[in-house]
Amino acid sequence: MEKLNEPKWKNDLVKIIWAYAYNNGLTTQDGNHDYLPKGLSDLVADVRNRCDRCGKTNVQALRDLNKSGRRVYVINSYQCCRVQKDVEDYVPKLCVNCHLELQAQRPHNTISV
């Protein structure tokens, strides 16, 4: 099985966006590569940059951290929380709050990549 390097829900959303673009003739081609138009490529980037666990954007995660009085962090990829299942195998991108929740459930050393 091919590694997705992102959770299934993100991969599924990206596939839906690409299918929409193909079905409506919105893609452009440069050599052997297909490209999405600006609005759809921005949407794919937004989906891929969200926290894999809660779906928050960087802005939402930073706002939550500022309310709690913690230092400001961005969403990071955490090697220590690697997901390895039959369907998925990826290093998750997590906001700090989600990583702290996972650490509370299963204490471990933090390894961010």
In the chain, domain spans:
1-48, 51-113
Tens of pLDDT along 16-46? 999 999 999 999 999 889 999 999 999 999 9
Distance separating alpha carbons of residues 59 and 52, to the nearest angstrom:
15
Distance separating alpha carbons of residues 98 and 52, to the nearest angstrom:
9
Mean pLDDT, to the nearest integer, of 76-102? 91
Pick from 67, 65, 77, 83: nearest CA to 3: 83
Q: How confident is the model at residue 68 (pLDDT cuts 50, 70, 90)?
A: low
- Helix, strand, coil fractions of the chain, as percent rounded to 5: 45, 15, 40
Whether residue 35 contacts residue 45, with contact meaning beta carbons closer than 8 Å, is answered with no
Which pLDDT score, from 0 to 100, does residue 94 have?
94
